Structure 1
Amino acid sequence: MSLWENYRKVCFIAPFAPPAWSGYAIVTAWNPASHWVSARRNARRQRALWRLVGDSPDVIAMGPLWGSALDEGWQEESLLLQAPRGEAIRLAAAFGQNAIYWVEQGELWLVPVLLKGTPLHLGRLASHWIARGLA
């Protein structure tokens, strides 16, 4: 199965409900270009993403949340970012990511970053969202 096909089969696990923002991205720094790296390296990369986002006055972050395979056998820590789509793509590219997830008016899109292709509509975000451990 291709990477793009794997990216399509996603759910998000979070201890919060999705925000009511009109548009936002879900971005990770884990496993650049879908190449596995150690948990320690992934944690360092994710902290670097948090720092970069924290230094940007135009970006609001929520997280962490987990981008996950439907069977939860694979997961990557992610951030939900209220930012212009171009800024989210730039951040993802800086961390070697093949794609981001973009939410527009509650609709989920898979958007290529390093991969070639066109954005793909995945349906309503609500059908991909699992809220666990709500505060």
Structure 2
Amino acid sequence: MCENISLWCSYQAILFKAEQHPVYPRFAILTAFNPRSIVLNNPDNLKRNELLKIELLSMTNGVQRVTTSAPDGSWQEIGFAADITVAEARQLACRWQQNAFYWVEQGELRLVPALMTDVAITKLGEIKDFFYTE
């Protein structure tokens, strides 16, 4: 439980970077990097992410590359903002062995558990406060 709480807290200290802010009315931010927060090598992570991208593109045309990082830049992962439902996002996050994913609706950013069962959806604030364009 303590390990999960520590992970959950680290997922809340987040920034997103992309070429432009996603224009979807609601969207998920997902990655296939580091399943269950177990660090994989970069080639394996990139291969997993490419397969996730292909899967997302089969579901929607609304897919945009997003880099997720710690505020101090000490950690980052490539992912995607996708115009899918929260249920679809949860299914994908579980299939790609992700502990959680981010959900944005009405400008509000939420951290949503996928594999983690001992935490609850956490409102993080307005997405504009977490999102930067390159």
Pair in the same fold by TM > 0.5: yes
Q: 2:51 aligns with which of 48, 65, 68?
A: 48
Q: Tell me the alpha carbon deviations over residues 32-77 of structure 1, each in whole angstroms, 9 at most, x when there is no partner.
A: 0111000000010001101111222xx3343211011001110000
Per the TM alignment, residue 30 of structure 1 is displaced from its structure 2 partner at its CA by 0.3
TM (norm. structure 2) is 0.92
Structure 2 residue 99 is the aligned partner of structure 1 residue 98? yes
Cα distance between partner residues in 2 of 1:81 and 1:74: 22
AA aligned opposite 2:71: L
> How many pairs does the alignment contain?
129
Match of 2:76 in 1: 75
Alignment of 1:1-135 (within 5 A): 2-19=6-23, 21-56=24-59, 59-116=60-117, 117-132=119-134
Matches of 1:125 and 1:87, distance apart in 2? 20
Computed over aligned residues only, the root mean square deviation of the Cα atoms, in angstroms, reads 1.2
Is there any run of 5+ residues in structure 1 with no aligned partner, and where? none
Structure 2: unaligned runs, 5 residues or longer: none
- State the distance in 1 between where 2:108 and 2:92 align: 21
3-state SS, counterpart of residue 32 of structure 2:
coil
Instruction: Sort the Cα spacing of 1:54 and 1:87 in 2 relative to 1 into closer, same or farther, 3 A.
Output: same
TM-score (norm 1): 0.91
Contact 1:61 1:79 in 2 (8 A): no
Question: What CA deviation, in whole Å up to 9, does each residue of 1:3-55 have, x standing for no partner?
Answer: 00000000001111231x22110000000011100000001000110111122
Q: Which runs of 4+ in 1 moved over 4 A?
A: none
Q: Deviations over 1:60-111 (max 9, x none)?
A: 3432110110011100001001111000110111100000000010000000
